[in-house]
Structure 1
Amino acid sequence: MSESSAQGKGAGERSEAGRPLEGRRFERINFLAANTPEAQHARARLVGRYGDVHSDEADVVVALGGDGLMLQTLHRFLGRNVPIYGMNRGSVGFLMNEYRETGLRKRLAAAQSSIIHPLIMVAENRDGGTATAHAINEVSLLRQSAQAAKLRVYVDGHIRLDELVADGVLVATPAGSTAYNLSANGPILPLGAPLMALTPISAFRPRRWRGALLSDKAEVRIEVLEPDKRPVAAVADHYEIRDVVKVRVATDHFVGLHLLHDPGHSMEERILREQFRQ
Structure 2
Amino acid sequence: MRRAGVVTHGRPEQIGAGIARLQTVARESGVDLVVSPEEAAKHAIAPSDGDDEVDIVVVLGGDGTMLRALARQLGDGIPVVGVNFGRVGFLSAMDRDGLESGLTRIFAGDYDVVELPTIEVVAAGARHVAVNDVVATSGSLGRMVELEWAVGGEPLGRVPCDGVICSTPSGSTAYNLSNGGPVLMWGIDAMALTFVAPHSLHARPLVVPRGRDVLVWNRTGSVPVAVLVDGHRVAEVSPSERVDIRLAQERSLLATLPEATFVSRYRQSFSA
Bucket of the pairwise TM-score, normalised by the shorter protein: 0.7 to 0.9
Does the alignment pair 1:250 with 2:246?
A: yes
The answer for the alignment partner of 2:44 in structure 1 is: none
The answer for the alignment partner of 2:4 in structure 1 is: 29
The answer for the alignment partner of 1:107 in structure 2 is: 106
3-state SS in 2 of match to 1:117: strand
Contact 1:181/1:199, CA 8 A, preserved across alignment: yes
Q: 1:173 to 1:274 in 2, by over 3 A?
A: farther
Does the alignment pair 1:236 with 2:233?
A: no
Unpaired runs of 5+ in structure 2? 27-31, 37-51
Q: Distance in 1 between matches of 2:261 and 2:254?
A: 9
Contact 1:32/1:43, CA 8 A, preserved across alignment: no
Does the alignment pair 1:53 with 2:34?
A: yes
Q: Which has the higher contact order (CA 8 A, sep 6+)?
A: 1
Where in structure 2 are the equivalents of 1:145-184 lying within 5 Å?
145=140, 146-160=142-156, 162-184=157-179
1:133-189 CA deviation, whole Å, 9 max, x = no partner? Answer: 1111111111122331111001111111x2110001111111111100001100111
3-state SS in 2 of match to 1:147: coil
Contact 1:137/1:237, CA 8 A, preserved across alignment: yes
Shift of 1:54: 5.4
Aligned identity (percent) is 31
Question: Which of 57, 66, 70 is 1:70 aligned to?
Answer: 66
The answer for the alignment partner of 2:39 in structure 1 is: none
Shift of 1:88: 1.1
The answer for the alignment partner of 1:84 in structure 2 is: 80
Contact 1:191/1:268, CA 8 A, preserved across alignment: no
Greater CA drift, 46-55 or 59-68: 46-55
Q: Distance in 2 between matches of 1:115 and 1:137?
A: 13
Question: Which of 207, 216, 234 is 1:213 aligned to?
Answer: 207
3-state SS in 1 of match to 2:71: helix
Q: Distance in 2 between matches of 1:275 and 1:195?
A: 22
Shift of 1:270: 2.5
Unpaired runs of 5+ in structure 1? 1-25, 125-129
Q: 1:214 to 1:33 in 2, by over 3 A?
A: same
Q: Distance in 2 between matches of 1:274 and 1:198?
A: 25
Contact 1:63/1:69, CA 8 A, preserved across alignment: yes
Give me the CA root mean square deviation. Answer: 2.1
Question: Which of 103, 121, 126 is 1:131 aligned to?
Answer: 126
Q: Which amino acid aligns with 2:100?
A: T
Q: Distance in 2 between matches of 1:236 and 1:268?
A: 26
Q: Which amino acid aligns with 1:176?
A: G
Q: Distance in 1 between matches of 2:271 and 2:25?
A: 38
Q: Name segments (4+ residues, structure 1) moved above 6 Å.
A: none
Shift of 1:277: 3.0
3-state SS in 2 of match to 1:256: strand
Q: Distance in 2 between matches of 1:40 and 1:138?
A: 30
